[in-house]
Structure 1
Amino acid sequence: MSLLLEDEEIDEYRDGSVRLRNPNIELMDQDILYHLALGSGSHDLVEMFGDIKFVCMGGTPKRMEQFANYIMAEIGHKLPAGTTLLDISQYSYRYSMYKVGPVLCVSHGMGIPSVGILLHEIIKLMYHAKVKDPVFFRIGTCGGIGVEGGTVVITEEAVDDMLNPYYEQHVLGQKVHRPTTLDRQLVRELKALVYSDDPYDTILGKTMCTSDFYEGQGRLDGAFCEFSEAEKNEYLAKLQEAGVVNIEMECTAFAALTHHAGIKAGVVCVALLDRFKGDQVCAPKEVLNEWQMRPQELVSRYIKRYLQRKGRLRTTDSHGSMCVKSPRRFKLVQQESENYE
C-alpha cells in the first residue's frame, strides 16, 4: 500500500510559523534534539535562535565553518568583543552548527538518512525558537550530466533515481510519498542574482537524488560494477533527455521535508565534473576549493539583498552563545547526545 501526501494549505500556518505536524511534541516535558546537543527544556531556544531567517546546509563541517566565516564578512556581521565563532553542536559529535546573526550554518553529512535526521531536528528547532518564515538552502557539490565542472546548478525540480518527483519513505510498513516541491519564486530570484560577468555558467534544471554514490549513480569505479561504459552513457543520456542536469544524494529529502513543514527552500550546487567524461574528480584541489565557493557566493547575494532591504546589515548580536535554562537538564542533554546512537 502506498500513501501519497498531496500539497495543502492550512490557514493556521499562514502567519509564517513552521509546521511540525506532530501533536505529541506539545505533550512532552522537554524535547531533546539529540543530534544537535540541544533541548527545549535545557536551552532558551527563543533567545538563542529566535532571530534566525536563513538556514544554510552543506555536507561537511569544514565547508559550513568556511561558509559561516564567509557570510560573516559578506553581511558585515561583527562578533562581540573577545568572542569567536562557536560550534553550537560540538557535543553531538555528529553535526556542526554556527550562528552568524540571522544565518544558521549547519553540516548535514552525506545522503538522505543523514540530512533527514538533521532536518527533523532543525525544523523542530525553528518551531521551538518561534522562528517565522525561515528560508532553507542546501549548498553543495554534485556530478553534472552534460555539464562542465565548475558550473553552478539551481535545482528547479528534485527527482529520485526513478525520476519520480517525490520522496519515498516507509512509515509503519507503508510507503509514504511526499512531493519534492521547491519554491519557484526562490528559484527565479536566485537566477536573477547571477551576474553577467560571473566567470562560470549558472543553469536551472532537474536534480536527481540517489541513495548510493557508486552503482546508484552509474559509476564504473566502485567495488562492484555489472554494467558496461556504453550502458552507463546510455543511462546518462536518458537522464539528460528527461531534463536532469546533475546528480547528488540529498535533494529529495531536503525538498520534501522542508515543503511538508511549510518552509521556503532552495538547492544550489556546483558540478565537480561531467559524468559523461568520467567518474573520478580530477581537478586540482585549489580549483575545487574555488568551485565550491560559487554556490556560497550566490546564496550570499540572496541573503545580503534581503538584509539590505530590511536594514539588518552590519550588526553585532548573538553568535550562538549558550543560553541555559536548566543546568541539570543541560548536562543531561550533553550526556544523551554523546551516548545516543
Structure 2
Amino acid sequence: MAPILAENSKPNLPDGDNYVNNGFVNIKNPHLDLLSEDILYHFDLGTKTHDLPLMFGDVKFVCVGGSANRMRDFAVFIHKELGLEGDGNSITDICAGTDRYSMYKVGPVLSISHGMGVPSISIMLHELIKLLHHAKCRDVTIIRIGTSGGIGIEPGTVVITDTAVDAFFRPQFDQVILDKVVVRNTELHRELAENLLQCSTEIPDFPSIIGHTMCTYDFYEGQGRLDGALCSFSKEEKLEYLRKAYAAGVRNIEMESTVFAAMCHLCGLKAAVVCVTLLNRLEGDQISQSHNVLKEFQTRPQQLIAKFIKKQLGLCT
C-alpha cells in the first residue's frame, strides 16, 4: 500500500507572509525557475511566444466551468453586465490553437472551460495558475460555476460551497504523487462564500444556500446512480448513502470541487464553487427537466457571479 502523507496546508511562500499581502499568485515548483521557457501546452500559450503580463496582467476574476459553450455564453453575458463597448459576440477564443480548453477575456474577467472531472480540471488549473503567476496578476478571485445534483433540496437551487468533501464525506483530496498518496486540504475561502450568499439575497428569482459539496470520480456508480451500464447496489442502499451524505452536510454532488479547492488553497488563491442543482437525487437519477428549464437553471450561477463582480468593481451598490 502506498504511504499516505498529509501536505502542509500553508502555501510555501518565498517571501513569507508579505508575499500573500502583496496578492501575487504563488506556485510551489522550484523546477520552473530552471526553464528558459514555460510552454502552457493545453492553452497553446507560452512565456516566450506570448507577452503574458500584457495579455493578462489586469485579470482580477477568473471564472471556470466545464462546458466550452457555457463559458463563452458567460463571457458574452459578463461583457454586457460590465457595460463594455460592443455586444460581446465578437470575443475570440484565446486558446483557439487547441481543442482542449476555451478561454475568453472580458476586461478584468477571464472565462475558461475545464472539461469534466478531476483529471481535466487539474490539468487546466496547473496551467492557469502558472499563467496568472507569469502574468504577475494580483488579488485574483477564482470561482468555479457549474451544474450539480442536489441532495434534499429543490432543483434550481444554487449551492455555494463552504467545504468540498470526497465520497467518504472527508474534507480532503488524495493526490497520488509517484508512489505516495498526498492528502490535501479542501478548504475554500469562507469570507468569499459569505459575500456570495449576501449577494444572492438581492436576487429573489431563485434560492441560494451554503453547504458542503461532494466530489466524485464519475457520474454513475460513484454518485450512486441506478441507471448506468453497471450497478451493484440496490435502491435502498443508494438512498441510505445519500441520506448519510445529507446528514454530513452535503447538499450537492459534482466532479471537480476537491481538486479545485486543494490547488487554489495551496497557491493562495481566493476561491469559491457555485453550482446550480438540476435535480434532487433523493427523488431520482435522471435529469428530466425540459431544455428551456435547464438552460435557465444554468444561468443562475452566472447571474450571481455577475452581481458579485460588479459589486467588487463598484459598478453597483
TM-score range for the pair, normalised by the shorter chain length: over 0.9
Q: Is the contact between residue 76 and residue 87 of structure 2 (CA under 8 Å) also seen in structure 1?
A: no
The Cα of 1:60 is off from its aligned counterpart by 0.5
Specify the SS of the correspondent of 1:272. strand
Task: Give the alignment of 1:1-341 within 5 angstroms.
Answer: 1-8=3-10, 10-14=16-20, 15-78=22-85, 84-195=90-201, 198-308=204-314
The Cα of 1:217 is off from its aligned counterpart by 0.2
Aligned length: 309
The Cα of 1:301 is off from its aligned counterpart by 0.8
Structure 1: runs of 5 or more not aligned: 312-341
Cα gap change, 1:196 to 1:93, in 2 (>3 Å): closer
The Cα of 1:43 is off from its aligned counterpart by 0.2
Question: Counterpart of 1:31 in structure 2: which amino acid?
Answer: D
Cα gap change, 1:196 to 1:32, in 2 (>3 Å): closer
The Cα of 1:177 is off from its aligned counterpart by 0.9
For 1:103 and 1:162, locate their aligned partners in 2 and report how far apart those are by CA, in whole Å. Answer: 35
The Cα of 1:49 is off from its aligned counterpart by 0.3
The Cα of 1:8 is off from its aligned counterpart by 2.0
Cα gap change, 1:242 to 1:70, in 2 (>3 Å): same
Deviation per CA, 1:257-301, whole angstroms, max 9, x where unpaired?
011100000000000000011101000000000000000111111
Cα gap change, 1:80 to 1:32, in 2 (>3 Å): farther
More deviation in 152-161 or 11-20? 11-20
Question: Counterpart of 1:76 in structure 2: which amino acid?
Answer: G
Cα gap change, 1:225 to 1:49, in 2 (>3 Å): same
Q: TM-score by structure 2 length? A: 0.95
Question: Counterpart of 1:203 in structure 2: which amino acid?
Answer: I
Deviation per CA, 1:212-233, whole angstroms, max 9, x where unpaired?
1100000000000111111111
For 1:139 and 1:8, locate their aligned partners in 2 and report how far apart those are by CA, in whole Å. Answer: 25
Question: Counterpart of 1:126 in structure 2: which amino acid?
Answer: L
The Cα of 1:112 is off from its aligned counterpart by 0.3
Question: Counterpart of 1:234 in structure 2: which amino acid?
Answer: E
The Cα of 1:184 is off from its aligned counterpart by 0.4
Higher relative contact order, chain-length normalized (CA < 8 Å, sep 6+): 1
Match of 1:331 in 2: none
Deviation per CA, 1:198-254, whole angstroms, max 9, x where unpaired?
122111110000001100000000000111111111111110111100000000010
Question: Counterpart of 1:174 in structure 2: which amino acid?
Answer: K
The Cα of 1:25 is off from its aligned counterpart by 1.1
Match of 1:321 in 2: none
Question: Counterpart of 1:100 in structure 2: which amino acid?
Answer: V
Q: Is the contact between residue 37 and residue 46 of structure 2 (CA under 8 Å) also seen in structure 1?
A: yes
Structure 2: runs of 5 or more not aligned: none
Question: Counterpart of 2:54 in structure 1: which amino acid?
Answer: E
Specify the SS of the correspondent of 2:147. strand
Question: Counterpart of 1:140 in structure 2: which amino acid?
Answer: G
